[in-house]
């Protein structure tokens, strides 16, 4: 391994400290989690810490198989066991830490295929990347992105065996990021296959990269196959993507539509301004940008493609392409300053996943309700499940929406919140024995639920704070 110059090492330490300072700001200034998915993962992680292994059954939504890949929850659970710190606290800082560490494999990859000075620019752009900074609180996809530069180096060097092993590790952290990396490898192989030099990878001895992409993917799937077999054998008990994900994703479509022109413009500018860079290193990251942009637009029609993950793929690749533009040093410094400002604003805008009123309602349920059925939006439902860790409380929705054990019940309950018909809503509530209904501002501005009807239905208000109300359901006369 080539030794890093002392100057470069000091710069990397500074960049790592800066990246950590930026990413740690939201969890350090908020008591509650700042991302919705982390609420779900905190619960499964705590169950892992309590049992010593990932649970096969999740008690949420009346009980359902736990099909999420095991590695993230094992990391959370074992870190909690080793440190004595609750998973709920560990999870606040783990993903921002992983995000900050991106700069190390990025530097390693860029130095391998370029030089140390270019690698430092890449590391700096990664550290101050506002796209990455704003998405540092989401889910285990970040572990896959941490491995992506290493996978890229191995693949471009022809080391498909180790590449496949790391792809399998990615798969056991998160299905989607593993599938994303696999598509990138296949797309790269296809582009090389149909190009004039289709039989060679520039920096390695491997031939026919499309074949090597297939071999790497096969190795990854093979290593993860025991878990995949277990998950697939039980998926039929609850998998209902069309029912759950589409309905919830549609509620946030307005935010995504705002991004439509910007994603296209940024993608076009980067691909156009790096057209002179035609080697495999540049090609790999241009493919990531192109797939991220195309995937983002496809996700508007197919929500299960996860729009923000597509943006993260494209955004993660941009720092590797910026030095390929051959801009002046003063221009690069100006870009870094703008990126720093954008990153600071991006993380400063991040707020807790629940409002004060919603969080107050969750704590009221925790302190006053030992058993019962609760109708609330996915964010509140998941928080009740995690903060109470109670199997005696049933919430109708949870954030892990791909696993819906009773799609008819899910559809009926969602309709209860959507409809303005009081008779219809009361009939469904009585049918399923709901004890409490929680509604707040999010239900109006994000989901467009009709919340006024519950007051008109005569249900007494058990809790009210900052726009959030808990209605106690009374029997129909």
Tell me the percentage of the chain whose pLDDT exceeds 90: 56
**What is the DSSP annotation of 134-171?**
HTTTS-THHHHHHHHHHHHHHHHTT-HHHHHHHHHHHH
**H or E element in which residue 465 lies:** strand 461-465
The band of 59, judged by pLDDT with boundaries at 50, 70 and 90, is: confident
pLDDT digits (tens, 9 = 90+) for 75-97: 999 999 999 999 999 999 999 99
**HSE-CB of 408 using CA atoms within 13 angstroms:** 3
The band of 239, judged by pLDDT with boundaries at 50, 70 and 90, is: low
Q: 10 Å Cβ neighbour count for 245? A: 17
Residue 468 CB-density burial (10 A; 0-12 exposed, 13-18 middle, 19+ buried) = buried
Q: What is the pLDDT of residue 240?
A: 56
pLDDT digits (tens, 9 = 90+) for 309-368: 899 999 999 999 999 999 999 999 999 999 999 999 999 988 887 888 999 999 999 999
Q: Is the pLDDT of residue 450 over 70?
A: yes
d(CA 295, CA 442): 28
Q: What is the pLDDT of residue 205?
A: 47
pLDDT digits (tens, 9 = 90+) for 249-273: 555 566 667 777 888 899 999 999 9
User: For domain 356-472, is the CATH number 3.30.465.10?
Assistant: no
Please give the C-alpha separations between residue 340 and each of 135, 334, 343, in angstroms, as whole numbers: 15, 10, 5
Q: What is the pLDDT of residue 40?
A: 87
Average pLDDT, integer, range 122-127 = 97
Q: Which residues contact 409 (CB under 8 A, 6 or more apart)?
A: 396, 432
**What is the DSSP annotation of 199-249?**
T--TTSS---HHHHHHHHHHHHHHHHHHHHHHHHHHHTTTB-HHHHHHHHH
Q: Domain residue spans in the chain? A: 6-348, 356-472
Q: What is the pLDDT of residue 206?
A: 47
When mean pLDDT is compared across 95-109, 183-197, 261-275, the lowest value belongs to: 183-197
pLDDT digits (tens, 9 = 90+) for 401-420: 667 777 788 888 888 888 88
């Amino acid at each position: 391994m080539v030794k890093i110059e002392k100057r470069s090492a000091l710069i990397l330490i500074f960049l790592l400290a800066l990246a950590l300072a930026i990413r740690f700001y939201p969890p350090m200034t908020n008591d509650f989690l700042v991302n919705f998915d982390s609420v779900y993962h905190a619960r499964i992680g705590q169950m892992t810490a309590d049992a010593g292994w990932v649970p096969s059954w999740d008690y949420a939504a009346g009980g359902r198989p736990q099909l999420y890949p095991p590695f993230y929850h094992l990391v959370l659970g074992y870190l909690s066991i080793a440190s004595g710190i609750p998973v709920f606290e560990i999870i606040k800082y783990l993903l921002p830490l992983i995000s900050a560490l991106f700069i190390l494999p990025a530097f390693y990859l860029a130095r391998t295929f370029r030089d140390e000075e270019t690698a430092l620019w890449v590391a700096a752009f990664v550290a101050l990347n506002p796209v990455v900074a704003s998405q540092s609180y989401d889910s285990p996809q970040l572990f896959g992105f941490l491995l992506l530069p290493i996978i890229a180096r191995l693949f471009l060097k022809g080391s498909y065996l180790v590449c496949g092993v790391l792809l399998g590790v990615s798969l056991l952290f998160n299905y989607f990021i593993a599938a994303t990396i696999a598509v990138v490898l296949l797309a790269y192989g296809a582009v090389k296959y149909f190009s004039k030099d289709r039989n060679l990878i520039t920096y390695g001895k491997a031939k026919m990269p499309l074949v090597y992409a297939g071999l790497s993917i096969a190795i990854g799937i093979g290593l993860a196959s025991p878990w995949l077999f277990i998950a697939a054998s039980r998926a039929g008990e609850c998998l209902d993507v069309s029912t759950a994900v589409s309905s919830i994703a549609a509620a946030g479509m307005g935010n995504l539509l705002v991004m439509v022109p910007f994603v296209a413009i940024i993608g076009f500018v980067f691909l156009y301004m790096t057209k002179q860079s035609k080697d495999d290193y540049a090609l790999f990251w241009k493919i990531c940008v192109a797939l991220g942009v195309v995937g983002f637009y496809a996700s508007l029609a197919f929500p299960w493609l996860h729009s923000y993950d597509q943006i993260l793929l494209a955004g993660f690749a941009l720092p590797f392409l910026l030095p390929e533009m051959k801009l002046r040093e003063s221009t690069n410094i100006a870009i870094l300053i703008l990126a720093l400002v954008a990153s600071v604003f991006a993380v400063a805008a991040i707020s807790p996943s629940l409002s004060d009123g919603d969080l107050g309602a969750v704590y009221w349920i925790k302190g006053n309700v030992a058993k019962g059925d609760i109708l609330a939006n996915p964010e509140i439902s998941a928080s009740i499940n995690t903060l109470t860790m109670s199997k005696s409380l049933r919430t109708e929705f949870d954030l892990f929406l791909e696993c819906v054990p009773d799609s008819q019940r899910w559809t009926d309950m969602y309709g209860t919140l959507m409809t303005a018909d009081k008779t219809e809503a009361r009939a469904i509530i009585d049918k399923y024995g709901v004890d409490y209904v929680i509604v707040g501002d999010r239900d109006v501005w994000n989901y467009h639920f009709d919340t006024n009807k519950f007051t008109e239905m005569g249900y007494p208000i058990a809790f009210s704070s900052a726009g959030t109300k808990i209605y106690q359901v009374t029997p129909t006369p």
